[in-house]
Each structure stands twice: as structure tokens, then as C-alpha cells.
Amino acid sequence: MKTEELIQKTTDWIRDYAATNGIRTLVVGVSGGIDSAVVFRLCVATGKEVIAVAMPMSLEEDSCPDSLKKAEELVKGIPNVTFAIKPIGEVVDAYSKVLKLDAYNPFPLLQGNIRSRIRANILYHYAGLHSGIVVGTGNKDEDEIGYFTKGGDGLVDICPISLIHKSDVREMAKLLDVPQSIIDAQPSAGLWDGQTDEDELGMTYDEVEWAIKHDELQEATGQFIPTRNDRQDEVLGKVRTMRARNAHKLKYPPVFDPGDEYKLPRMNYK
């Protein structure tokens, strides 16, 4: 599918969903990253009212340098957009104090997940105030491997780009007039200072996309497709492990049925 057609179909899908369900407002968290920028532009193209919310740690600094400046550049001068800036640093500090995170947390992931969940709460606050929905910004490469926070950036109402690879999102960004500074930025979830997605994953998004397409083709053809080198073996192993370990994020939580024969749900952590 050509990029122009993909943009039009995605925009129509968001607009039709909102119209069918009586949705007045589309709420998007804008981080200064390419995925949220593309989703924001798609929402604007629907003609619906859009609330774009930037949630840095503070007005002076954030985990990603210039993220607030990029978000401001993205939303500037668009008539059907309300832009809100809600720093989360004080809330994060309060959570950290109550949970004593500094005392027992040797890894930044716990605090990073708290940041993500606080941001989700803020987005849903705006959606509740303005008869809106929270529009997800996760792409296919992230969602397939469960690279999102459960109850955080994974807590959304609709997912316009969850079946669209990062490489296609980049092409969409060009046609949607996303600022070049955002297109060129290192992808980051803003979970902690200096965090980048690809450093955390240990592989690039292009590699993740290759591994997903490799397994999809293998499944579709029913034929074994050999890898070409050790790096491909490594990436394929990482992607398969993450997909298995994080599969629970893409499913409704197990529900006990008292009328059924008792079976204990098992998580797949291969």
C-alpha cells in the first residue's frame, strides 16, 4: 500500500470510529517522538477536536533533551488543537517517596513504569473532561514484542498504528509534514534520563521489523527460512523471547469461571 493511501485509510478509520461512538475529542500524548507525532497529525486530519498533552518531568528539563521544544513545534498554529503541558516530576517524586524506590530499586525500570502510568492517568483525565478517547501511539514493532508499559502507554482506547511498522511510520511522517528534528530523533519512551529504545532493546527497530517479518513469512509459507549470520540469530532469539514473555500484555487478563472445570491459567515465559 502506498504511503498516501495508508495515511488516508488510517485517518478515515479514526474519524469513523469517533463518529460511530459519539466521540467529541481525541487525546494524544505528544513526547517529541515520531510515533506520537504521526498519530497526532492523523488525529488533526480527521477534523475532530484534538488535545495534545506534553508530560515532561519538568518545564526546565526532561529525560529526553528538547522533547518539550519538539512537541511545541509540532502543535504550533493548528486551529483544532488544544495544547497542554503537564510536568510530572512532582508526582513521580511523591510516588518514589511512598514506595521507597531509591532504597531498593537497582534498576530504573520500576520508576520508568511509574512515569508511564502517571502519564496515562493524565491523558484519561483529559479524555474524561472532554468526552474524548485516548489515542494510542504504539507501532507494530513495539506492540508485537510487548515493548510498552502495562497500564501506562499500553492503556489506550484505540490503536491506529499498531499494525504499521516503524519504517512505514517514518514514511508517513515525511508526508504528514512532521518536523525533521522529530524524524531524526533517537526513539525514546522517556522512562529515565538518557533512555533510548534501541539501547534498551539491544537492537534497532529495523532489526525488530526484520525478525517479525521473518517469522510471519515462515508461518505463512510453512517452510523453514534459515538465518544468514550470527547477528540475525541473536536478533531473532531476542524478538521471539520478548514476544513470548510479553504475550500477556496483548490479552485480556485471565478470568476465573466458577461454572467451568477449574484450570489454573499459565503464563508463557519462555
pLDDT in tens, the chain (270 residues): 899 999 999 999 999 999 999 999 999 999 999 999 999 999 999 999 999 999 999 887 666 768 899 999 999 999 999 999 999 999 999 988 888 876 556 567 888 899 999 999 999 999 999 999 999 999 999 999 999 999 999 999 999 999 999 999 999 999 999 999 999 988 887 777 778 899 999 999 999 999 999 999 999 999 999 999 999 999 999 999 999 999 999 988 888 778 776 666 665 544
27 pairs with which residues across the strands? 51, 134
- On whether the CB atoms of residues 178 and 42 are closer than 8 A, the answer is no
The pTM of the full predicted model, rounded to 2 decimals, is 0.91
pLDDT tens, position by position, 99-108:
887 655 656 7
Q: Which of 37, 63, 36 is nearest to 191 (CA)?
A: 63
* Distances 247 to 147, 197, 233, 262 between C-alpha atoms, Å: 10, 19, 21, 22
End-to-end CA distance of the chain: 35
pLDDT tens, position by position, 193-248:
778 899 999 999 999 999 999 999 999 999 999 999 999 999 999 999 999 999 99
Angle, in degrees to the nearest 10, between helices 67-75 and 34-45: 20
Residue 85 phi, psi dihedral angles, 5° rounding: -115, 120
Residues 6+ apart with CB under 8 A from 142: 35, 148, 166, 197
- How far is 39 from 137, CA to CA, in rounded Å? 6
Q: Which of 36, 52, 50, 45 is nearest to 80 (CA)?
A: 50
Query: 3-197 belongs to which homologous superfamily?
Result: HUPs (3.40.50.620)
